[in-house]
Copies of this chain bind each other. A is one copy, B any other.
Amino acid sequence: MNKLILAALALPSLAFAAQPAPTGSQLPIDEQAERLRDAALSDDLAWTILEGLTTEVGPRQAGTEAEARARSWAVRRLTELGFSNVRIEPFEMPVWVRGEERAEIVSPFPQPLVVTALGNSGATPQRGVEAEVIGFDSEAASEESVRGKIVFIDHGMAPTQDGSGYGQFGAPRRQGPSIASRKGAAAIVIRSIGTDYHRNPHTGVQMWAEGVRPIPAGALTVPDAEQLRRILARGRPVRMRLTLTPRNTGRHESGNVVAEVPGSDPSAGVITIGGHLDSWDLGTGALDNAAGVAITTAAAHRIMQAGRPRRTIRVVLFGAEEVGGGGGDTHFALHRENGNVVLVGESDFGADRIWRVDFNLAPENEALADRVAALLAPLGIVRGRDRANAGADLGAWPTSGTAAIDLNQDGTRYFDYHHTPDDTLDKVDPTQLRQNVAAWTAMLAVVANAPEAIGPVPAAP
């Protein structure tokens, strides 16, 4: 990747020769966007923001005092950087916090296992719950086999560049606890929805299905899940003691931090971009998602520094993404009617290089897609054929007909760290981070200044 960028910088004409021919009419490359893109390859602002947020705030779970500190930090930082209309959009939410977390095999081979509670897990008594472990591989498992047991689901996820395994292999986390509870299980432990072999468990939210009684629900690390599988394979009854003592602390305030680069033409609409400010509590949320905050803020800042764009760029740092997206919902409710938002884009998949761009634009904006794709090609970014969906916090917009562009990051190692204690600053590669800023800057330079109207998109088929 670095070699590719260096080559692109040294030989722009050669690099550009390799870009795909625009499918619309032949348009000149926007020279300013090109210059801004290349300058962004030396960006230091994104790193500074990422380092600052993860160091000076650290973990920032939604609805906690730490997330409130993150909002104060962001307001101060965005104001210092010269953004306009910096403000907080507050909202209330129920808060669940982690307690003690322990698991141990009691018999036949006594030993501790490493576990963490899944979001909204029920609690065990302080002394834990002890029960037989039953491997669970099918929704069809009988209630008789499950009742009173600790259910264990062991589905493994392999890395994919586009992160597509997460939807499928995340099911044990999202649906497993409710299914186990319905069948009368005492508790459930799953193999972490992760691709690494370190003893840092992957947490993540799960929502109890309507009417289901919360039971203790935890994730073992991958090495611990494999250990439990080996122990079960001996064929003797396996007893586990599980202690998870999370609690619900009631409703507390969260909020989105919003900042703008005002446009010169209010009638041309608003471009909304962003990431999320909250993180899980286990790590410092460097990849998930201080990186998205840093990348989108740094790119918008570069557009601002280059002079007033035609369209307003609104940067939204969402609250409470990890626990169900309260920030995205609040923002959509506030702005959908009179916001005049014409295009959205979200960065929430780490800090590794952008490898693919996907569009969701009206047919009459095909030339806009061509110009963006042409500007991204020298960064090694391919043009994809998926329909852009903008992600968890801004996904409601394209679903409702707003145009979207997805700058897709390489997710090959994302699920090694996602939702674990290991999501820390050292996992961020500064060079790949800069490539992200360059891609976002190039994209914004085109869409914020495009002379044509950016139209609504047809509903997804």
| A contact residues vs B (CB 8 Å cutoff) | 51, 54-59, 66, 105, 108-112, 114, 197-200, 222-223, 226-227, 230-231, 234, 283-284, 420-422, 424-427
Contact = CB atoms under 8 A, between A and B. Distances in A.
Q: Which of A55, A66, A114, A222: most chain B Cβ within 10 A?
A: A55
Contacts of A58: 105, 109-112, 227
A57 to B, nearest CB: 7
Q: Which of A66, A197, A199, A426: most chain B Cβ within 10 A?
A: A199
6 contacts: A56-B108, A58-B105, A66-B110, A197-B426, A199-B424, A230-B425
List the number of copies, as a whole number: 2
B55 A227 contact: yes
Contacts of A57: 109, 111
Nearest to A113: B58
Contacts of A422: 197-199, 223
Contact of A223 (B105, B114, B230, B426): B426
Given A114-B421, A230-B55, A200 B200 contact: yes
A452 to B, nearest CB: 46
A206 B54 CA distance: 33
A450 to B, nearest CB: 40
Question: 5 shortest A-B CB distances, which residue pairs?
Answer: A58-B111, A199-B421, A223-B424, A55-B230, A197-B426
A48 B193 CA distance: 28
Contacts of A223: 422, 424-426
A234 B57 CA distance: 13
Given A58-B110, A59-B111, 12 more contacts: A55-B227, A58-B111, A111-B284, A197-B424, A198-B422, A199-B420, A199-B424, A223-B424, A226-B425, A226-B426, A227-B284, A230-B425
Contacts of A231: 55
Contacts of A226: 425-426
Contacts of A105: 58
Nearest to A231: B55
Nearest to A229: B55
